[in-house]
Amino acid sequence: MARGTVRSRDGALLAYEEAGSGFPLLLVHGFPLNRRMWAKQLSLLGRGRRVIAVDLRGHGESSVPPGVSPPSFSMELFARDLADLMDFLGLDGIDLCGLSMGGYVAMAFLRSYPERVRSLILASTRATADPPEGVEARRAVAERVMAEGMEGLAREMTPRLLGPEAPREVAELVEEMIRGTRREVAAADSLAMAARPDSRELLARAGVPILVIHGAEDALVPVEQARAMAENIPGSLFRVIPGAGHLPPLEAPEAWAEAVGAFLSGLG
């Protein structure tokens, strides 16, 4: 397993790790997590291909540019960081997988760099923008974490992220990732998600293979919403992972890797 860091064009340090060889699959984590959520997938999927997991700026071992305080993010900025990482690694194209907020980043990447996307895996995510009450809720989360820190959010969010069958060590890891995220970063994520555009049209005319993959017990993004997203994308595949909540790559790693591996193998 190789690890490294890259400087983004505006000076953020981006940490990544990778396993395997072949056409690259880039994995993008959700909110307010980091690349540790992909550890099992690096070993499972890395058996058959090159898999790269990155910490978005500010998350995990990645930093924000020096002197920028508090940080301000957008899905486009995260997407530009992925392009900088690809340039550093000498990659023209990728299979791109984003989970939840990572899915919003993947959509932003497709919008800005369509020629660099061979296929897209949209995991536990949605294509719609937030409705007004959703935007309000994001602002409230940003204000709350700035006032109180991450403890309360970690305690409340962890059970909502996981399905009823999630093992205890998975819950512990998720809670640890949330607690370890800096409050300014979580607040900036929340405001950036609130500002994201609707991507349904973008996906409908993407013209690349797309897999929509979702946990049957997802309490954050109902599986029916993912099904509707897939139905709106001509030629897309839709897979449901039984028994898993919002984080199937952690909750049902083998089943999730098998579905993603089968999709990627079909691309040749």
Residues found near ligand MLT in the complex (CB under 6 A)? 30-31, 100-101, 193, 220, 246
- CB-nearer residue toward ligand MLT: 10 or 172: 172
Greatest Cα pair distance, the chain, in angstroms, is 50
CA separation for the pair 19, 50 (Å, rounded): 6
Provide the minimum distance between the beta carbon of 86 and ligand MLT in the complex, in angstroms, as a whole number. 22
CA separation for the pair 174, 172 (Å, rounded): 5
Tokens, residue 49: 């291909």
Provide the minimum distance between the beta carbon of 88 and ligand MLT in the complex, in angstroms, as a whole number. 25
> In which residue are the tokens 């709350």 written?
144
- CB-nearer residue toward ligand MLT: 16 or 104: 104
- CB-nearer residue toward ligand MLT: 104 or 238: 104
Provide the minimum distance between the beta carbon of 108 and ligand MLT in the complex, in angstroms, as a whole number. 13
Provide the minimum distance between the beta carbon of 64 and ligand MLT in the complex, in angstroms, as a whole number. 18
- CB-nearer residue toward ligand MLT: 193 or 213: 193
CA separation for the pair 98, 78 (Å, rounded): 12
CA separation for the pair 164, 192 (Å, rounded): 30
Pairing of strands 117-123, 210-215: parallel
145: CB partners within 8 A, 6+ apart: 153, 183, 186, 187, 190
Phi, psi of 32 (to 5 degrees): -105, 70
- CB-nearer residue toward ligand MLT: 50 or 196: 196
- CB-nearer residue toward ligand MLT: 41 or 100: 100
Provide the minimum distance between the beta carbon of 75 and ligand MLT in the complex, in angstroms, as a whole number. 11
Provide the minimum distance between the beta carbon of 107 and ligand MLT in the complex, in angstroms, as a whole number. 12
CA separation for the pair 97, 260 (Å, rounded): 9
